[in-house]
Amino acid sequence: MSKKLLLKDAHVEGIRYFETYRKQGGYGAAEKAFKMTPEEILEEVKVSGLRGRGGAGFPTGMKWSFLAKPEGVPRHLVVNADESEPGTFKDRYLMEFLPHLLIEGMLISSFVLGSNVSYIYIRGEYSWIPDILEEAIEEAKAAGFLGKNILGSGFDCEIYVQRGGGAYICGEETALLESLEGKRGNPRLKPPFPAVKGLWERPTVVNNVESIAAIVPIIDITGAEYAKIGVGRSTGTKLISACGNINKPGVYEIDMTITVEEFIYSDEYCGGIPNGKKLKACIPGGSSVPIVPANLLLKTVNGEPRYMNYESLADGGFATGTMMGSGGFIVLDEDQCVVEHTMTLARFYNHESCGQCTPCREGTGWMYKILKKIEKGEGKMEDIDLLWDIQRKIEGNTICPLGDAAAWPVAAAIRHFRDEFEWHIKNPELCLTQNYGLANY
Ligand code: L3W
Ligand code: SF4
């Protein structure tokens, strides 16, 4: 059984409210942190080995230590709650059921970073959650955990919630900052990174909801104890949102030592695949990461079991491995069509491209058109090589990672399931979607 750090009180009735959260020991980590110096807390975060839970896995302590501190310039913490990655819904769970865990994490993080005004940027579609967060912020303020002179420390902190307008690209940190400034959410060129020039050109740390929530248990149990959970550079616990062809979709907290097989088949987690169907493939880290066929999902290229952690999932590189990403775990059974699935994703990335760079703006649309043709049974063999060529020209040639995110699923689908693409081309009369004319696409 995985250790629970973030979700240990998730099922306590009323945990959403300050009084219950406090009774369960909530804000104890904040009280402990305010007896430490910001440097001591930063050291705990570094020792914990916590890596960003939004997708990139960048070490949180290192990101915090990059924060520029020019004299007289305000600094900000911005929590990225624009959780729009298909298959990813773990931050929604945290904010909906444990809003005070996020606020306590933000308070401690703001104290370390010297952010007197911090923000939560939340995706527009999570329309009911801002009210939950704002109510929790008011409760924390009334109890003296936000506002002026918190716990007599002389430190002031306000938290504001900003709703996004429903664009996936605003989950990219610099597009998010543009949007927070009231502009169209177009990604900026990096460097400079937000840690140097972020919100209104001020030094800014942008962290995912889960990363900030994890600061609470790190302070509670110490960074060293946190680092003992998990394995290698995959320390602590990770939330996984599991969906697709599984018996028990939901949000699970794992300690990154379990195998992929255990995660899919054990009753503690996904509970296996409905109707005794076979596993075909899985996308373990949200739609942006490469799809992996069952044989490589259950073991690595070296024949070792594949584990649910950053290193094992990436074993073999992108050629055979994949990524932990945001932890959006999508399971496909033997009846699913990889071509259709890839086409749906291509449509999504084409729709969400901000259009600033040519390879992404043109390439995503081109890939979608070709995939639609193949899916309808109107493709030619040379289309597969053309698709391969287009995705290669997108990867690494764009301003932000959306280009890579659009290219990788196509590359992995062709690499691992080329036979399915060929089958569509050789058997146009059997392509199921042909008769529907793909009206919904
Ligand atoms: C200062 C340096 N800061 C890096 C910071 C940087 C950022 C973080 C990671 O994309 C990925 C993407 C999606 N000085 C720095 C520095 N930083 N070097 O570190 O940066 P980076 O560029 O590796 O990644 P990113 O731009 O944050 C995120 C993948 O995540 N993904 C996306 C999921 C989307 C969601 C969602 O909808 N919420 O989770 C899933 O896998 O493809 O590769 O903060 O500033 N020298
Ligand atoms: Fe916009 Fe795509 Fe370029 Fe990102 S890669 S900046 S989404 S056009």
- Comparing 239-243, 260-264, 429-433, which segment has the lowest mean pLDDT? 429-433
**Dist. CA 279–CA 273, nearest whole Å:** 7
369 to 290, 315, 398, 405, 432: CA distances (angstroms): 20, 32, 20, 17, 18
DSSP summary character for residue 290: P
Q: Give the per-residue pLDDT at 7.
A: 98
Choosing from 60, 62, 63 the residue with most ligand 1 atoms within 8 A of its CB, the one to mutate for a pocket test is 63
In one letter, which amino acid is 335? D
pLDDT, greater one: 388 or 318: 388
Whose alpha carbon is nearest atom 24 of ligand 1?
Answer: 56
Q: How far is the CA of 356 from the centre of ligand 2 (A)?
A: 5
* Residues contacting residue 371 through CB under 8 Å, at least 6 positions apart: 339, 342, 343, 346, 387, 410
Question: Does the pLDDT value for residue 441 go beyond 50?
Answer: no
Q: Is residue 35 classed as helix, strand or coil in its secondary structure?
A: coil
What burial class does residue 189 get, using C-beta atoms within 10 Å of its C-beta: 0-12 exposed, 13-18 middle, 19+ buried?
Answer: exposed
Q: Give the per-residue pLDDT at 330.
A: 98
Question: Does the pLDDT value for residue 87 go beyond 70?
Answer: yes
Q: How far is the CA of 406 from the centre of ligand 2 (A)?
A: 10
Q: How far is the CA of 375 from the centre of ligand 2 (A)?
A: 26
Q: How far is the CA of 186 from the centre of ligand 2 (A)?
A: 8
Q: How far is the CA of 215 from the centre of ligand 1 (A)?
A: 19
Q: How far is the CA of 346 from the centre of ligand 1 (A)?
A: 21
Q: Torsion angle, CA of 206/212/214/216, rounded to 10 degrees?
A: 140
In this predicted model, what pLDDT tens digit does every residue of 146-199 receive, in sequence order? 999 999 999 999 999 999 999 999 999 999 999 999 999 999 999 999 999 999
In this predicted model, what pLDDT tens digit does every residue of 1-12 receive, in sequence order? 778 999 999 999
Pocket (CB within 6 angstroms of ligand 2): 169, 187, 353-357, 360-361, 398-400, 402-403
Closest ligand 2 atom to the C-alpha of 356?
A: 8
Structure tokens at 155: 């430190």
Whose alpha carbon is nearest atom 35 of ligand 1?
Answer: 85
Q: Is residue 272 classed as helix, strand or coil in its secondary structure?
A: coil
Tell me the ligand closest to 184's alpha carbon.
Answer: 2
In this predicted model, what pLDDT tens digit does every residue of 114-146 receive, in sequence order? 999 999 999 999 999 999 999 999 999 999 999
Tell me the ligand closest to 177's alpha carbon.
Answer: 1
Q: Give the per-residue pLDDT at 433.
A: 64
- ipTM exceeding cut-off 0.90 for this assembly: yes
Write down the pTM of the prediction: 0.96
Instruction: Judge contact between 399 and 357, C-beta under 8 A.
Output: yes
Long-range contacts of 164-167 (CB under 8 A, 24+ apart): 164/82, 164/121, 164/122, 164/123, 164/124, 165/124, 166/123, 166/124, 166/125, 167/84, 167/352, 167/354
Tell me the ligand closest to 172's alpha carbon.
Answer: 1
Tell me the ligand closest to 324's alpha carbon.
Answer: 1
137 to 27, 140, 341, 360: CA distances (angstroms): 13, 5, 40, 39
* Residues contacting residue 165 through CB under 8 Å, at least 6 positions apart: 124, 179, 185
**Dist. CA 299–CA 202, nearest whole Å:** 46
Handedness of CA 93, 94, 96, 98 (dihedral sign): positive
Closest ligand 1 atom to the C-alpha of 207?
A: 44
Q: Give the per-residue pLDDT at 287.
A: 94
Whose alpha carbon is nearest atom 2 of ligand 1?
Answer: 193
Q: How far is the CA of 47 from the centre of ligand 1 (A)?
A: 21
